[in-house]
Amino acid sequence: MSIANTILQNSPSCLVPSFSLLSPTPSAAVSSKGIRPRCLRPVTSCVSYARTSVQNGATDAVPVVGRDQIRLGLPSKGRMATDTLDLLKDCQLFVKQVNPRQYVAQIPQIPNTEVWFQRPKDIVRKLLSGDLDLGIVGLDIISEFGQGNEDIIIVHEALNFGECYLSIAIPNYGIFQNINSLKELAQMPQWTEKRPLRVATGFTYLGPKFMKENGLKHVTFSTADGALEAAPAMGIADAILDLVSSGITLKENNLKEIEGGIVLQSQAGLVASRRALTERTGALETVHEILERLEAHLKADGQFTVVANMRGTDAEEVAARVMAQPSLSGLQGPTMSPVYSLRDGKVSTEYYAIVICVPKKALYESVQQLRAIGGSGVLVSPLTYIFDEETPRWSQLLSNLGL
């Protein structure tokens, strides 16, 4: 008997590896042929946390612990951590850390908020356990470790950094050379109950769920030490399921993506605990302020204010001239104001100043159109914030909370 099978037979039921997607529950059988126990770790079929468990999108009722501080979880390391702090800084929310080695910090602009630096997956877990109230983390991590739990609410799903997607990749050679779609992969005769498709991944919840939903019946999942891209070449996996940003690493390892193989699109998002927002004093007000700052900055990102003087007889005539140009409509149309000048001792109006907001990609075209219809003295400045009367995501959040 192999080492792998010996371990499996003596393991508790919640540590049984391999998902046979013939049934909705994990199978106790696993093929160890070609597997190197020191390189692959079996996928667990149950996940437990210190104070809460996630099963079928439900969570054990955990009472909200009484404390005055609202706790915001932020990524502790890497590019995600840097981009998160930069975004908050752009929103005039400055995270003050007394000691760089400490995991707790403050945001002076929101006095009742305490920042906790955590690993992304721990942010989700601690939202579920009640140890955190809010968090900024990738949507892939929310989906993988939140597992559809209804207590996790996505407050803002697009913070414009950390963009990537979770995708299946297979070798560009051998039996996969002419396989270019998920459907073709599923129809390959090689995959049987005794010889399933072996997938190396760190997403042991989303992976089996996606495969089952797409009709792949004979699949096993394992997590590999080191870079997943090496697993097929080493012979310890047939395919991988991993995050992709540019796709360059896949190509350099002779791997290819396939049509229909994208599990989800991901980027950083603001998430919260439903229980905290409805039960913890001050949590809803705090998330409202953070959300408004985020929305105002993100809406203004890449937008420019353009001011120009236009000769004209009256404001309506100048406005009609401007609005006839497709790139000069602005957010809600141009703002017009008279430019007063002194001529022969009398105050007169021969010019009107127009103010419009245009995106960066259309900036030069807009300036050219303004010049073409008589604009002069064109001034351009970047926008920092655009505050709406009320952010639509706030209304959506209140609706999701039943408030």
Segment 271-283 shows an average pLDDT of 95
pLDDT in tens, 283-336: 999 999 999 999 999 999 989 999 999 888 788 888 888 888 877 766 567 888
| pLDDT, position 221 | 95
Q: Report residue 1's pLDDT band, with 50, 70 and 90 as the boundaries.
A: very low
Of residues 5 and 152, the one with the higher pLDDT is: 152
Nearby residues of 124 by Cβ (< 8 Å), 6 or more positions away = 135, 137, 141, 142, 145, 146, 152, 271
User: pLDDT tens across 197-210, in order?
Assistant: 999 999 999 999 99
Specify the pLDDT at position 102: 85
> What does the alpha-carbon distance between residue 292 and residue 393 come to, in Å, rounded to a whole number?
9
Cβ 42 vs Cβ 222: under 8 Å? yes
Instruction: Report the pLDDT value the prediction gives residue 344, as an integer from 0 to 100.
Output: 78
Look up the pTM and report it.
0.78
Q: Which CATH architecture has domain 3-46+164-266?
A: 3-Layer(aba) Sandwich (3.40)
Whether the pLDDT of residue 35 is over 80: the answer is: no
Are the C-beta atoms of 318 and 354 separated by less than 8 Å? yes
Average pLDDT over residues 182-188: 94
- Return the pLDDT at 46: 30
Is the confidence at residue 277, as pLDDT, over 80? yes
More confident of the two residues 226 and 122: 122
pLDDT at 43: 58
Question: Would you say residue 50 has pLDDT above 90?
Answer: no
Q: How confident is the model at residue 36 (pLDDT cuts 50, 70, 90)?
A: very low
The residue that leads in pLDDT, 391 or 331, is 391
The CATH number of 303-382 is 3.30.70.120
Which of 64-73, 325-334, 389-398 reaches the highest mean pLDDT? 389-398
Q: Domain residues of the chain, as ranges?
A: 3-46+164-266, 54-163+267-298+392-401, 303-382
| Cβ atoms of 270 and 133 closer than 8 Å | no
The more confident residue out of 352 and 348 is 352
What is the pLDDT, as a whole number, of residue 12?
37
Q: Tell me what pLDDT residue 56 has.
A: 43
The CA–CA distances, whole Å, from 312 to 258, 365, 368 equal 59, 22, 18
pLDDT, position 4? 39
Strands 346-359, 335-343: pairing kind: antiparallel
* pLDDT at residue 40 is higher than 60: no
> DSSP of 290-356, one letter per residue?
HHHHHHHHHHHTTEEEEEEEEE-SSHHHHHHHHHTSGGG-TTTS-EEEEEEEEETTEEEEEEEEEEE
pLDDT at res. 30: 35
In the 8-state DSSP scheme, what is residue 278? H
SS3 105: strand
Report the C-alpha gap between 220 and 200 in whole angstroms.
9
Q: Is the dihedral of CA 390, 127, 162, 209 positive or negative?
A: negative
Percent of the chain scored above 90 by pLDDT?
61
Closest by CA to 355, choosing from 368, 342, 338, 373, is 338
SS3 387: coil
Q: What is the mean pLDDT of the chain?
A: 83
pLDDT in tens, 115-161: 999 999 999 999 999 999 999 999 999 999 999 999 999 999 999 99
Query: How far from 376 is each of 348, 368, 370, 371, CA to CA, in Å?
Result: 18, 11, 8, 6
Q: Does residue 13 surpass a pLDDT of 80? A: no
The residue among 365, 359, 355, 358 whose CA lies nearest residue 310 is: 355
- CB neighbourhood size of 35 (10 A): 21
> Tens digits of per-residue pLDDT, 360-385?
888 898 898 888 888 888 999 999 99
9-13, 181-185, 332-336, 389-393: range with highest mean pLDDT: 181-185
Residue 258, CA distances (Å) to 21, 144, 170, 263 in order: 20, 22, 8, 11
Bridge partner list, 168: 241
When pLDDT is averaged across residues 186-201 and rounded to a whole number, the result is 95
Q: Tell me 19's DSSP state.
A: -
**Which CATH number is 54-163+267-298+392-401's, of 3.40.190.10, 3.30.9.10, 2.102.10.10, 3.10.450.50?**
3.40.190.10
Q: What percent of the chain has pLDDT over 70?
A: 82
φ, ψ dihedrals at 161, nearest 5°: -150, 165
d(CA 238, CA 208) in angstroms, rounded, equals 15
Over residues 160-187, the mean pLDDT reads 96
Question: How far from chain centre, in Å, is Cα 147?
Answer: 15
Domains 54-163+267-298+392-401 and 303-382 share a fold: no
Among the listed ranges 200-204, 226-230, 272-276, which one has the minimum average pLDDT value? 226-230
Question: Comparing 48-57, 167-176, 182-191, 283-292, which segment has the lowest mean pLDDT?
Answer: 48-57
